[in-house]
Structure 1
């Protein structure tokens, strides 16, 4: 594996305002989507440049139910968000939707960036699939979905925004490449379990921010899922120093944060770790 070169970030001097939607996800897709739309319109009152929904915001259930409710880019969920983005004139990230892929019996977990005209600007397929045994529950994501292969950075009003999803946060290689390729902000829409969230959520997100000296924006689901498992919530924003600047309390809500983009270069000048990397000395193992 060849480590990419470091590209110094050229960011605006002004703030970048982002709204994070924290919501409960049920087994009723219509209810979930209507709730998401309500929160998008509520968030728009704060005049953000970007509104981000959590992972699987439109539906969750058993493996069989997830497959049965899988969607395509044509709907039924995405067009409703496109209409809202166009109506409000704002970028919206559909945190993730389980989507069908031609000639594959496994789904993709897809995050979709919609531009202010209501057009799909970028898509990202979750790269790392959640397989774990935590809190007395076995999670076998690879029974339902297959990981994507592409790393994605999108331009949102002149800000380079990296796209990831939930379990990706445990893989620092992905976040390092996003930093080396110039990301100013990295999104982590999530459906984190309560069991792992209470011990790992803040640590993982702040570590990725510290290591790469950019903003991390992580909206999460909250409350109980169908079947009894609980999700963690506590949506947050971490700045390039690793300080949590905004954090949601329990329950469904919207939080809006102003990201001071000048902090990126300020932190990188204080502790210039990225340009001092030694890719020539890193001997990456084959597996």
Structure 2
């Protein structure tokens, strides 16, 4: 019997530095209730879902930064998470949510957790691996700061898939009702190595939250200043490209949830929240730049054809040819051609 599941990307409109966390959680809960009214069993909130994308700001001291971080040893017991998870549990919705994590020993990570309504607890955590941006602020005023490297360490938990119990309405051919899932955050979705690590664990559903700027030439490494509207169109296309291509190449569904609109009155985020199939098709996508629930009904068994045929890794992968991927970090170009002296 098919493994049917209704999933949702819970897109957020702008979250400003002046917005309080209780106000933002009120928005989360409105989205959750709307999703529940549509029969959703699993929802995804964006990266840094409680705050503005604070890494664009340079803070004068740690006290100013700390208000954006979740400090509790057990996140589920924090004031904000406990309220959100209590609502999700009451509604019977599993929830993936991104936040800024500070560990008891003072380390900081850009993280997400997965809350299971069945077990009423967090069953998985992920820490963003591919940290973009810079550690030091821009000196020449050429664009917005992007100081993720200043505020976050690369994640140390790897790409570990996990099983989420009872998220499908019916068991699959092997009797399972659970789903094999993995989490990514923002820039991670641009790195095929991350997806393949999950694909090699049989992942069926990738959950990805993000905050992606629509215009920041200094961050992209370009010297030109393209028209902001054209730039945003290009960034949106690249966002969908990597989600669709990697969903196809790993035969999995993806739920991608972002923030959208003009955050802090200055910085534009692209939105584009979407749900993608194992064939790379966009099943549903956002039509606004505000708070929005994007819903699709999926069948997890749709992952089987790709996993058993064209992307049957056990049959087709040639791992002895791939050593460069893990043995080498930076680019090493082939030797320069030597000019021929023949005929001279």
Same fold, judged at TM 0.5 (above): yes
Alpha-carbon shift at residue 273 of structure 1 (Å):
5.1
1:238 to 276, 290, 296: 276
- Write out per-residue CA displacement over residues 55-113 of structure 1, whole angstroms, 9 at most, x where no aligned residue: 1111023353543321131323211112112211221111x111111223x41112111
Q: Does the aligned pair in 1 maintain the 2:250–2:307 contact within 8 Å?
A: no
Report how far residue 255 of structure 1 moved. Answer: 1.2
- The equivalent residue for 1:161 is 181
Counterpart in the other structure of 2:294 = 255
Residue of structure 2 in register with 1:190 after alignment: 210
Cα distance, 1:15 vs structure 2: 1.5
Residue of structure 1 in register with 2:11 after alignment: 22
* Correspondent of 2:2 among 4, 8, 13: 13
Tell me the CA shift for residue 189 of structure 1: 0.9
The separation in 2 between residues aligned to 1:66 and 1:218, in whole angstroms, is 27
Cα offset, 1:30, TM superposition: 2.3
Q: Distance in 1 between matches of 2:311 and 2:108?
A: 40
Which residue of the partner structure matches residue 6 of structure 1? Answer: none
Q: Is the aligned partner of 1:141 residue 2:148?
A: yes
How far is 1:54 from its partner?
Answer: 0.9
Query: Contact 2:306–2:312 (CA<8 Å) still a contact in 1?
Result: no
- Report what 2:169 is aligned to: none
**Structure 2 counterpart SS, 1:213:** coil
Structure 1 equivalent of residue 245 of structure 2: 207
C-alpha distance in structure 1 between counterparts of 2:65 and 2:186, whole Å: 17
Paired residues of 2:181 and 2:204 also in contact (CA < 8 A): yes
Structure that is richer in strand per residue:
1
Q: Is the contact made by 1:67 and 1:107 (CA closer than 8 Å) also made in structure 2?
A: no
Equivalent runs, 1:97-176 vs 2, <5 Å: 97-104=99-106, 106-116=107-117, 117-131=119-133, 136-150=143-157, 151-156=159-164, 157=166, 158-176=178-196
Structure 1 CA distance for aligned equivalents of residues 203 and 58 of structure 2: 34
What's the counterpart of residue 80 of structure 2? Answer: 77
- Report the counterpart of residue 328 of structure 2 in structure 1: 286
The size of the alignment, in residue pairs, is 273
User: 1:237 touches 1:247 (CA, 8 Å); kept in 2?
Assistant: yes
State the structure with more CA Rg.
Answer: 2
1:38 Cα deviation after fit: 1.2
User: Which among 200, 205, 217 is matched to residue 180 of structure 1?
Assistant: 200
Task: Give, in whole Å, the separation in 1 of the partners of 2:304 and 2:121.
Answer: 32
Question: Distance in 2 between the 1:243 and 1:270 partners?
Answer: 18
Closer, same or farther in 2 for the Cα pair 1:193/1:81, shift >3 Å?
same
Extract unaligned runs of 5+ from structure 2.
167-177, 216-231, 330-344
Distance in 2 (CA, whole Å) between partners of 1:66 and 1:247 is 33
Counterpart-to-counterpart distance in 1, 2:151 and 2:163: 31
Which moves more between the two structures, 146-155 or 175-184? 146-155
- 2:226 aligns with none
Alpha-carbon distance in structure 2 between the residues aligned to 1:66 and 1:185: 33
